[in-house]
Amino acid sequence: VKYLNAYTGTVLLRCRKDAYRLLCSALPFVRQLESRGQGYPCALNTLHVGGTIRTCQKFLIQYNRRQLLMLLQNCTNEGERQCIQKSWLSCSVAEEQSLSGDEEDDDGTE
């Protein structure tokens, strides 16, 4: 696990190139994650398969932007709209910060 965001329910997994199909086919069968003896129900879906961590980060930024835009279109009041717009702006700032970091050029698939 390279990245985990419990708020958005997003996990970035890294594996070797030759094992990504096995990982993608196994993820839908995971029904529960355990931590410190306590089980947490979950459902895992593959959203993207990329060659580097950086391309996966770029995909997650675009994916989160699309999700926020859909939420913005479904707002019922002005308070919700302002909250989502603030989140969207923070997503844009996070993209600039994450893209300025080092890129891992590895043979693994994320």
Query: Does some domain include residue 108?
Result: no
In whole angstroms, give the CA distance from residue 29 to residue 32: 9
Query: Does some domain include residue 104?
Result: no
Number of domains in the chain: 2
The answer on pLDDT for 105 being more than 70 is no
Q: 70 near 18, Cβ under 8 Å?
A: no
Residue numbers of the domain that contains 38: 1-46
> pLDDT tens, 18-64?
999 999 999 999 999 888 889 889 889 899 999 999 999 999 989 88
> pLDDT tens, 54-81?
999 999 989 888 888 888 888 888 888 8
Residues 29 and 2 in one domain: yes
Residues 40 and 69 in one domain: no
User: What is the torsion angle, in degrees rounded to the nearest 10, for the CA atoms of residue 21, residue 27, residue 29 and residue 32?
Assistant: 160
Tell me, what DSSP letter sits at residue 72?
A: H
In whole angstroms, give the CA distance from residue 45 to residue 22: 13
Q: Which residue has the higher pLDDT, 96 or 77?
A: 77
Q: How far lies 49's CA from each of 2, 3, 109, in Å? A: 14, 14, 7
Tell me which H or E stretch contains 83. Answer: helix 78-99
Query: Does some domain include residue 110?
Result: no
Residues 85 and 68 in one domain: yes
Q: Determine if residue 7 is left, alpha or beta; phi over 0 gives left, psi from -120 to 50 gives alpha, anything else beta.
A: alpha
Query: Does some domain include residue 59?
Result: yes
